[in-house]
């Protein structure tokens, strides 16, 4: 009985970890759209930047977008134009970054190879 109980506890913990990991990876693209107006000035309303020195975000991997914004916010991405982005995301929560990442990841890539 004891062994059964601890096995149950272990599998519950594993399930909980798996749930936490999967839920932390996804945001709500509609919520992201509501706070993306300032971003469009540089990254384009379609996620394609019109300025050569700015990155396009449309169709980029959601996890990558989220991690990069977090790195700007925490000052872990520096050099180049990173200070510009630090200012853009410094007041945003983890959830808002997830939502923005989902919003841009959902956009179609409209690069030249299409
Ligand atoms: C004033 C122009 C400007 C605004 C406004 C702006 N960005 Fe940026 N963004 C940049 C620049 C420039 C970079 C590249 C910085 C560097 O050199 O690391 C960048 C980089 C990024 C990256 C990393 C892209 C990659 O491929 O690594 C993401 C994600 C991003 N911005 C999202 C956003 C979001 C979301 C907003 C709105 C909250 C926003 N940006 C607002 C100029 C801007």
29, 106 contact by CB (below 8 A): yes
**Dihedral angle computed from the Cα positions of residues 69, 72, 74 and 75, in that order, rounded to the nearest 10 degrees:** 170
Question: Could you tell me if the CB of 86 is within 6 A of ligand 1?
Answer: no
Confirm whether 113 is domain-assigned: no
pLDDT in tens, 33-57: 999 999 999 999 999 999 999 999 9
Question: Could you tell me if the CB of 49 is within 6 A of ligand 1?
Answer: no
What is the predicted pLDDT for the residue at 4?
65
**Dihedral angle computed from the Cα positions of residues 62, 97, 86 and 36, in that order, rounded to the nearest 10 degrees:** 90
CATH number for 46: 1.10.760.10
Cα–ligand 1 centroid distance for 69 (angstroms): 8
Residue whose pair of structure tokens reads 């190879």 in the numeric block:
113
Confirm whether 59 is domain-assigned: yes
Domain that holds residue 70: 2-106
Cα–ligand 1 centroid distance for 60 (angstroms): 13
Question: Could you tell me if the CB of 65 is within 6 A of ligand 1?
Answer: yes
Question: Could you tell me if the CB of 82 is within 6 A of ligand 1?
Answer: yes
33, 103 contact by CB (below 8 A): yes
Confirm whether 14 is domain-assigned: yes
pLDDT in tens, 67-97: 999 999 999 999 999 999 999 999 999 999 9
- What's the total number of domains in the chain? 1
28, 97 contact by CB (below 8 A): no
Confirm whether 114 is domain-assigned: no
**What average pLDDT does the structure give for the chain?**
87
Confirm whether 11 is domain-assigned: yes
């Amino acid at each position: 009985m004891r062994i059964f109980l601890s096995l149950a506890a272990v599998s519950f913990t594993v399930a909980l970890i798996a749930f936490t990991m999967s839920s932390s990876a996804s945001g709500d693209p509609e919520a992201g759209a509501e706070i993306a107006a300032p971003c469009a000035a540089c990254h384009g309303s379609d996620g394609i930047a019109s300025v050569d020195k700015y990155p396009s975000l449309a169709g980029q991997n959601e996890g990558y977008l989220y991690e990069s914004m977090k790195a700007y916010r925490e000052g872990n991405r520096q050099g180049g134009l990173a200070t510009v982005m630090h200012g853009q995301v410094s007041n945003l929560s983890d959830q808002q970054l997830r939502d923005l990442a989902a919003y841009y990841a959902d956009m179609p890539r409209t690069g030249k190879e299409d």
